[in-house]
Amino acid sequence: MLVHGYCSSGSIWPAVDFAQPKLEFLDPNANRSHDQFAQLLDQRAQQAALASFGVVGHSQGGPAALHLFTYYTSGLDRAEGPRRIQSVASPYQGTPLASLGSFACGTNNNMTPAGAATWLSGIPTWARSQVYYWSTSNSGSACNFFTGLLLTDPEDGTVEQFRCQLPGANNMGHVVGWCHTTGMSNPANYTDHARNQALNAAAAR
């Protein structure tokens, strides 16, 4: 299952990079708690009659998948393959931007640094061990001048590298030259075809 993040306008993952069987989760322009997001992932899988699935998640899509795996029984539990949950630029430890009422679709308590710490305290090691994650940042000019004033380098215009870290999970590395979304100084990190093809090859299904 290909999953976008908080307040996404819609489809983000390049279709050509991912082979069947696949399912794209779409919940455009939405502001969900991790729990609400997780339940929507499960509902989408049930609607598509997926008996099992892995997740490739961008941004909040990673924590939402981890929340689903931790607190609910779903097809994610029955996924077969090397990597159950893979994520790119996910704010496991939050982002200062989520505290701002003017941040995209509004304040998201699960993604504030304090809210993320509270959420993470309930995520056990056995669940974290199933996550493989990447962080990204710009090369050259800041991804976004205004958000750059609020974030600590290295950052991708939305999430700082150190807040992408998920202790107990599998850190797949930090990649320079990518920003969080479109309209920033570097390409959006979910358009990295080489990484996407690696995500596809390792994805549990």
Q: Domain spans of the chain?
A: 2-202
What is the band of 93 on the pLDDT scale with cuts at 50, 70, 90? very high
Neighbours of 136 (CB within 10 A): 29
Looking at residues 90-108, what average pLDDT do you find? 90
pLDDT at residue 102, as a whole number = 66
Looking at residues 94-102, what average pLDDT do you find? 88
List, in order, residues 6 or more apart from 55 with CB less than 8 Å away.
Answer: 1, 3, 41, 61, 62, 65, 76, 84, 85, 86, 87
Which of the 8 DSSP states describes residue 152?
P
What are the backbone dihedrals phi and psi of residue 137, each rounded to the nearest 5 degrees, phi first?
A: -155, 170
What is the spatial order of strands in the sheet that 24-25 belongs to? 24-25, 2-3, 55-58, 85-88, 131-137, 170-176
Q: pLDDT digits over 3-51, tens only?
A: 999 999 989 999 999 999 999 999 999 999 999 999 999 999 999 999 9
Q: pLDDT digits over 110-160, tens only?
A: 999 999 999 999 999 999 999 999 999 999 899 999 999 999 999 999 999
pLDDT at residue 15, as a whole number = 96
List, in order, residues 6 or more apart from 118 with CB less than 8 Å away.
Answer: none
The structural architecture, per CATH, of the domain 2-202 is 3-Layer(aba) Sandwich (3.40)
What is the band of 104 on the pLDDT scale with cuts at 50, 70, 90? confident
**What's the rounded Cα separation, in Å, for the pair 37 and 55?**
13
Mean pLDDT, the chain, integer: 97
Q: pLDDT digits over 177-202, tens only?
A: 999 999 999 999 999 999 999 999 99
What are the backbone dihedrals phi and psi of residue 134, each rounded to the nearest 5 degrees, phi first?
A: -120, 145
Lowest-pLDDT choice from 7-16, 54-63, 98-107:
98-107
- Across 28-61, b (16+ Cβ under 10 Å) vs e yields eeebbbbeebbbbbbebbeeeebebbbbbbbbbb
pLDDT at residue 126, as a whole number = 98
